[in-house]
Every structure is written in C-alpha cells, then in structure tokens.
C-alpha cells in the first residue's frame, strides 16, 4: 500500500522552520514540496546567500538547505558565514548540489557542513540526511587542520568501493508493443525492465519514488511525443539526471539535433542493431554507476568526518563520569589520611571503566548505525547505583542536592555494565544539574512480578525548558548550562536502546521532571 502524504510527516519537524537557498526556481519548488511533506512548519526561500543571511537575521531558522553555485554569494561562503556566527553556528546545514568535485566536498566538510547531498536525490535521501543533520550538525570549529592529512583523505579507503547493483532499471516507452517486445528480449537478462505505451504514462512512472536508471524513448507517439516527454523530464530537478536514449525511425539531422539539444544522451535509429544498441546502453549505464560511486565516496567522506568528531566528543564527555568517581574517592582518602577498602575499590573500578570506554571508541557510532549488539548480563541494581551516586557527590555539593534511593540488594536486571553506567550516570548528572538549590533527586524502581521489564525513575523538582523538550534526546541539545555539551541525554538514549530498553520523560512546572528508563527484567 503506497504511503500517504500524512504518513510521511515526522512529528519532530512540525514546529521547525527551514530555509531553502537556491537560484533555480524549479528546485526551490521541489525542495519546498519535500520539506512540507516531511512536516516542516514554516519554509523560507532565498535565491542567494546574501538574501539568506537577511532572512536568518530576522527569523529563527532550524534547518538550511542550500545549493552551491549561486550569484552574489555561493553556498560555501554562506556555510562559512553561518558557522562563524555564535547564534547560528549549530544550525543544521545541508548542501544539496550537483558539484561532485572531491576538493570542494572537503572544503564543505572542513567548513562544517552537516550533510552533502548529490543531485539527483529523492524523498528518502533527503529525509535520511535531514535526520543525520539534526543528530549531528557539526560545529563551526573543525577538529582537523585543513593543511594536513586527515580522515578526509579517503582516496585509498574508497578507491575499491563497488556498487553491488546488478539490477539496474530501464524504462522503455513506445506506442508499438512489438518494439517493446524486441527491446525486452534484448535487455531482460541484464536489466530490470519497465515498459509503457504512452508519454503520459512514462511521466507518471517517473513521478514515483523509485526512478528508472535509464529511459529508452520513442519520438513519434500519439497524445504526447517523445520530445515533449524529454522536455518535461529535463525540467524536473528530480528526473533531469536520468539518461534518455531516443529510439526512432526518424533519421533526419534536424530531429537528431533537436533531441540532443533538449537533453537526450544518445540517439538510436530503427530498425535497431542489437549489438550497437546493447553497447550504447551499457556505456550510459556505466556512467550512471560511476556517478553513484562518486556520490557514495563523498558520503563516506562525510561519515568519516562525523565519526571522527563524534568519537572525540563522546569520549571527551563520558570520560568525565568515571574520572569524577576517582577524584571523589581520592579526595576522601586524602581527608581520612588512611586507606579505605571502599574508596580503593571505587578507584579501581572507575579506572577500569575508563579503560573500557577508550577500548570502545566506536560505541556511539555503532549504536547510531545499529551495527553492533551488546551482551546483556545480570546486573545488581544497588551496586550499580552506589557507584553512580558516589561519583556524583561533588556535583551534589555545589547546590546542596540530596540524592535519595532505597534499592533492595536482591534486585537484578539484564544489561551491559558499560552502557548502564553511561546511561544512569548521564541521567543522574542531568537531574542534579537541573534540580533547584537544596533540592532532592529521588531514584525509584518499579517491577511487577509478571512483567518482563524493570522501570527506573529519576525525579527532580526542575523543569526541562519547553523550547528543547521536543528534542531533549537529540545530539548537542542543551539549555542554560555554562559547560553543557548536549551529549549526555543523547548518549543515554542510545545506551538504553542498545540494551532493548528506552528512556522517556515527563516534565511540568508543577511536578518537576521524571526521567524514566525501561530495561529488561530478570525472571523472578
């Protein structure tokens, strides 16, 4: 059953404002239609970078989708300007362009582009890249020196990338069924085929999500001839890239010239020569694959940059948690001037936790891409929270926050030790920081005898600001924290999901905030 327009709407975007920057009016219309379908609340349009900056100064923009080549100010200059301003530095910025020059892509990455989409594109690729852009906008300050070799120099790693796409698709358009039969017999062993008898039907097929890789198009057809069909396809930004080969009985020079002048890639006359026809189709299909391979290489460059940045940010942020335990335990030992078995044990365990985090630098990237499974083992809830709470005692002392919990020694659940430490340490730190001075943070556990889940609640009297509630678990979302990175709740969410659980929250001014974690319970 085909998706309806309403089914494509993403609730995360229904309150957000997007800015389209492109000097090509048909492209403006196409992108606006796609963003509207995804659910964006308001959409502004600018024809160049100068006009875009004027709009950005007057309105709160949540997403920028920009072309590269534009008059007055091109897309790269706009990107660099946006990243240089503190108020706009973290706006997700998507470059949508036909520019596949690798040096230009490197420039865009180093300037802080969130995603780089090669035309042609479709709804799925745009939606996927918007999701990536919001999860990791990429900050304005590059993490690498543009003059040095880096993870962006991917010639070696991508040189042998091959697209496993043996079933390339061809659309045959001819009002004579016999001609379609001949071409089908010639091509069916190598390509996935579609066929239709009219230009109108051909346009309808090319208006679907799955586009053909190449079109074989007759010129002389009733109702709508092949030249008109070609003109429509070349005027549509979503189909202009599809190679069109005219196959017709016409041999006059003027018809050949006219077909090629409006965008046809090649021209074959009837009656066809099977060997020549197949050879020409193979050449054009090879060019299609080469362009897709380049696009894949560029996407790999973007992912290399994103991976490098995310690893550095997550490791830098999450190492603070076990280090806090070590520092607190060491401080206690210093004050007592005597060795304590408990503090020494905590220092040892926290040091081991740091080692495990360093050994698992790929964790966040793997979780984001669902590319790894973590072993779930029995975990004692009281022992886990004793370690987590102890590590947060210095943070509690800053505003005199009291963390209260009463957990039976017998309560166990299934989880991954590293992920659970990361999960609860981040959530508890968030609750302590959000709690008003002299407040309480309460940790409770709910477990029904017949349920296969265990529920952890972490509550405080503070309220999550309304402006970030809809994106509370997104990456780099923070509000009112001087040194906040916006990674804690995002990392916690990924850690819960990786263990087959989840994290949610309720937050009101009257009742404060409760963070709720569900994980797998052990059979009673």
Which tens digits make up the pLDDT trace of 79-114?
999 998 888 888 999 988 776 676 777 788 888 888
* Eight-class DSSP state of 83: H
Reported confidence tier of residue 209, pLDDT bands at 50, 70, 90: confident
Whether residue 27 is predicted with pLDDT greater than 60 in this model: the reply is: yes
**Domains in the chain: boundaries:** 6-142, 169-290, 360-521
The total of other beta-carbon atoms located within 10 Å of residue 398's CB is 10
The predicted structure's pLDDT at residue 388: 93
What superfamily in CATH does domain 169-290 come from? Response regulator (3.40.50.2300)
360-521 CATH choice from 3.30.70.1560, 3.40.50.1110, 3.30.565.10, 3.40.50.970: 3.30.565.10
The predicted structure's pLDDT at residue 1: 43
The predicted structure's pLDDT at residue 358: 56
* Eight-class DSSP state of 161: -
Question: What is the token pair recorded at 212?
Answer: 């053909």
The residue with tokens 């886990």 is: 384
User: Is 356 in contact with 418 (CB distance < 8 Å)?
Assistant: yes
| Greater pLDDT, 340 or 377 | 377
The predicted structure's pLDDT at residue 251: 64
Who contacts 107 (Cβ-Cβ below 8 Å, separation ≥6)? 76
Who contacts 505 (Cβ-Cβ below 8 Å, separation ≥6)? 464, 472, 513, 514, 515, 516
The predicted structure's pLDDT at residue 334: 64
Question: What is the token pair recorded at 110?
Answer: 């180093």
Reported confidence tier of residue 250, pLDDT bands at 50, 70, 90: low
Q: Which of 123, 115, 168, 190 is nearest to 292 (CA)?
A: 168
**Residues forming beta bridges with residue 459, ordered by sequence position:** 442, 514
The residue with tokens 């052990």 is: 522
Rg of the chain, C-alpha, whole Å? 29
| Greater pLDDT, 368 or 187 | 187
Best-predicted range by mean pLDDT among 109-118, 146-155, 245-254, 287-296? 109-118
User: Is 172 in contact with 180 (CB distance < 8 Å)?
Assistant: yes
Reported confidence tier of residue 470, pLDDT bands at 50, 70, 90: confident
Who contacts 408 (Cβ-Cβ below 8 Å, separation ≥6)? 382
- Portion of the chain with pLDDT greater than 90, in percent: 31
Report the C-alpha gap between 388 and 424 in whole angstroms: 7
Question: What is the token pair recorded at 246?
Answer: 């005219």
Question: What is the token pair recorded at 434?
Answer: 């959000």
The whole-number average pLDDT for the span 343-367 is 61
Report the C-alpha gap between 77 and 47 in whole angstroms: 14
Three-state secondary structure readout of 328-394: HHHHHHHHHCCCCHHHHHHHHHHHHHHHHHHHCCCHHHHHHCCCCCCCCEEEEHHHHHHHHHHHCHH
Reported confidence tier of residue 210, pLDDT bands at 50, 70, 90: confident
The whole-number average pLDDT for the span 455-474 is 88
The predicted structure's pLDDT at residue 347: 74
User: Is 324 in contact with 394 (CB distance < 8 Å)?
Assistant: yes
Hey, what CATH class is 6-142 in?
alpha beta
Query: How long, in residues, is the chain?
Result: 524
Question: What is the token pair recorded at 126?
Answer: 């745009």
User: Exposed e or buried b for every residue in 422-433, given b needs 16+ CB within 10 A?
Assistant: bbbbbbbbbbbb
The whole-number average pLDDT for the span 509-519 is 94
Reported confidence tier of residue 317, pLDDT bands at 50, 70, 90: low
State residue 215 phi and psi, 5-degree precision. Answer: -125, 130
The predicted structure's pLDDT at residue 394: 84
| Cα separation values, 40 from 31, 35, 91, 124, 133, Å | 11, 6, 15, 16, 15
The predicted structure's pLDDT at residue 150: 37
Query: Which three-class secondary structure state does DSSP give residue 288?
Result: helix
Does this chain's domain 6-142 share its CATH topology with 360-521? no
User: Is 506 in contact with 431 (CB distance < 8 Å)?
Assistant: no
Report the C-alpha gap between 92 and 202 in whole angstroms: 36
Reported confidence tier of residue 171, pLDDT bands at 50, 70, 90: very high
Element (H, E) at 467: helix 466-469
Whether residue 5 is predicted with pLDDT greater than 60 in this model: the reply is: no
The residue with tokens 């190598």 is: 190
* Eight-class DSSP state of 488: H
The whole-number average pLDDT for the span 280-309 is 74
Report the C-alpha gap between 411 and 425 in whole angstroms: 19
Q: Is the peptide bond before 120 cis (omega within 30 degrees of 0)?
A: yes
Q: What is the mean pLDDT of the chain?
A: 80
Reported confidence tier of residue 367, pLDDT bands at 50, 70, 90: low
Who contacts 63 (Cβ-Cβ below 8 Å, separation ≥6)? 16, 17, 18, 19, 40, 91, 92, 94, 130, 133, 134
The whole-number average pLDDT for the span 408-416 is 92
Give me the helices (H) in 192-273, please. Answer: 199-205, 226-235, 253-261
């Amino acid at each position: 059953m085909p998706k309806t327009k309403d089914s494509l709407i993403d609730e995360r975007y229904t309150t957000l404002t997007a800015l389209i920057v492109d000097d090509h009016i048909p492209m403006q219309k196409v992108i606006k239609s796609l963003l509207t379908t995804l659910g964006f609340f308001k959409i502004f349009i600018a024809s160049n970078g100068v006009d875009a900056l004027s709009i950005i100064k007057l309105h709160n923009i949540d997403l920028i989708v920009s072309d590269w080549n534009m008059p007055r100010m091109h897309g790269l200059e706009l990107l660099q300007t946006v990243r240089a301003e503190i108020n706009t530095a973290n706006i997700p910025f998507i470059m949508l362009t036909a520019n596949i020059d690798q040096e230009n892509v490197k420039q865009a990455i180093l300037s802080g582009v969130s995603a780089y989409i090669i035309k042609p594109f479709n709804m799925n690729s745009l939606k996927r890249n918007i999701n990536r852009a919001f999860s990791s906008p990429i900050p304005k300050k590059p993490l690498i020196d543009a003059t040095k070799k880096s993870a962006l120099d991917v010639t070696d790693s991508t040189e042998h990338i091959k697209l496993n796409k043996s079933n390339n698709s061809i659309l045959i358009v001819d009002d004579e069924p016999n001609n379609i039969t001949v071409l089908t017999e010639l091509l069916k062993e190598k390509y996935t085929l579609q066929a239709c008898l009219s230009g109108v039907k051909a346009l309808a097929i090319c208006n679907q999500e799955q586009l053909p890789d190449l079109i074989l198009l007759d010129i002389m057809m009733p109702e709508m001839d092949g030249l008109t069909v070609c003109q429509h396809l070349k005027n549509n930004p979503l189909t202009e890239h599809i190679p069109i080969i005219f196959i017709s009985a016409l041999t006059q020079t003027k018809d050949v010239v006219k077909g090629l002048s409006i965008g046809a890639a090649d021209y074959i006359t009837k009656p066809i020569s099977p060997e020549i026809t197949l050879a020409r189709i193979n050449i054009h299909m090879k060019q299609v694959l080469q362009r897709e391979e380049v696009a894949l290489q560029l996407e790999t460059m973007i992912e290399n940059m994103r991976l490098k940045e995310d690893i550095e940010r997550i490791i830098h942020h999450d190492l603070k948690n076990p280090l806090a335990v070590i520092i607190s335990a060491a401080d206690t030992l210093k004050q007592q001037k005597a060795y304590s078995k408990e503090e020494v044990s905590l220092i040892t365990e926290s040091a081991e936790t740091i080692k495990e985090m360093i050994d698992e630098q790929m964790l966040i990237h793997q979780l984001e891409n669902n590319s790894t499974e973590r072993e779930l083992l029995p975990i004692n809830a009281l022992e886990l929270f004793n370690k987590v709470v102890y590590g947060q005692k210095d943070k509690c002392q800053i505003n005199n926050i009291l963390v209260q919990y009463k957990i039976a020694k017998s309560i166990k659940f299934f989880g991954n030790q590293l992920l659970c430490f990361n999960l609860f340490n981040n959530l508890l730190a968030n609750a302590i920081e959000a709690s008003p001075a002299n407040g309480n943070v309460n940790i409770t556990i709910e477990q029904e005898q017949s349920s296969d889940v265990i529920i952890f609640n972490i509550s405080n009297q503070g309220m999550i600001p309304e402006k970030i509630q809809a994106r509370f678990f997104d990456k780099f979302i923070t509000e009112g924290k001087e040194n906040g990175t916006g990674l804690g709740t995002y990392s916690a969410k990924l850690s819960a999901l990786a263990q087959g659980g989840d994290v949610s929250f309720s937050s009101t001014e009257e009742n404060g905030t409760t963070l709720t974690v569900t994980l797998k319970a052990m059979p009673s």
